[in-house]
Structure 1
């Protein structure tokens, strides 16, 4: 019998990926094309569909990293009807996801096979990570990040920034 400190096996981890639980936070994102966006999140960003819901796509990258895609309703914003929703949807929003069971390079490889938009990266950051930033079909930005030196503590990384 596993103890609370045991790491889940890959099979256990995958089954937990679609468990329904109270989410401490999730992003609700309006999209212009549900099918295209849902496909993008699964194929390019590596999300899984949690539960089929009418008119909503509930997707999960990993435990506690969920998004809800909902169709954009332009009737709620008549003053913006002249502008395309795709120009409005992703404006100013980015989600940062710490990779697990994959690397930033794995994410980059998926983008290449799907001709996805890479905003920046893969690149090293001064705060001891590598990251890649993608733009989804509506302009929302997803930043996938991973630690470079897992032995380096945060304070040391920040001190090295101060000395530059």
Structure 2
């Protein structure tokens, strides 16, 4: 696995770090990069990655509240397959085509953190053209 300094990442407080790790691995394909353990060998932090620059740090905690004002957003390539494989109990908003050239669905993890999965409907080259055109108009 490649190691690099991350320009941005999310820390996610979770009640059961092992359960959360398994959920992120099974549901979204994340893999553990590094686990930080205390002197009792308990995992306090688990650094997960699904793709380059798509990193999460799961932090074990019993003292947090989950809100609805911040969503993790993950760009994926196989959203229709992924949508079929995610248990309905985790789906907040089903897969839909949105006007900003994307297919998206929102799910929640076992602690209730909101995650939007996004797949672009256009190629990188077309996206660059669209952004250049749009920035001229606005």
Q: TM-score, normalised by structure 1?
A: 0.68
Q: Which contiguous aligned blocks of 4+ residues in structure 1 show a shift greater than 6 angstroms?
A: none
Matched, 1:129 2:112: no
Superposition pairs for residues 13-162 of structure 1, below 5 Å?
18-54=1-37, 55-74=44-63, 85=64, 88-99=65-76, 102-112=77-87, 116-150=89-123, 151=126, 153-155=129-131
- Which structure has the highest strand share of the two? 2
CA distance in 2, matches of 1:73, 1:118: 24
The structural deviation recorded for 1:30 is 0.7
- Bigger Rg, structure 1 or 2: 1
CA distance in 2, matches of 1:156, 1:64: 24
Give the SS at the match of 1:37.
helix
Unaligned runs of 5+ in 1: 1-17, 75-84, 159-164
Q: Give RMSD over aligned pairs.
A: 2.2
Give the SS at the match of 1:44.
helix
Contact 1:91 1:139 in 2 (8 A): no
Residues 39, 32 of structure 1: CA spacing in aligned structure 2 closer, same or farther, 3 A cutoff? Answer: same
Q: How many residues align?
A: 126
Residues 155, 51 of structure 1: CA spacing in aligned structure 2 closer, same or farther, 3 A cutoff? Answer: closer
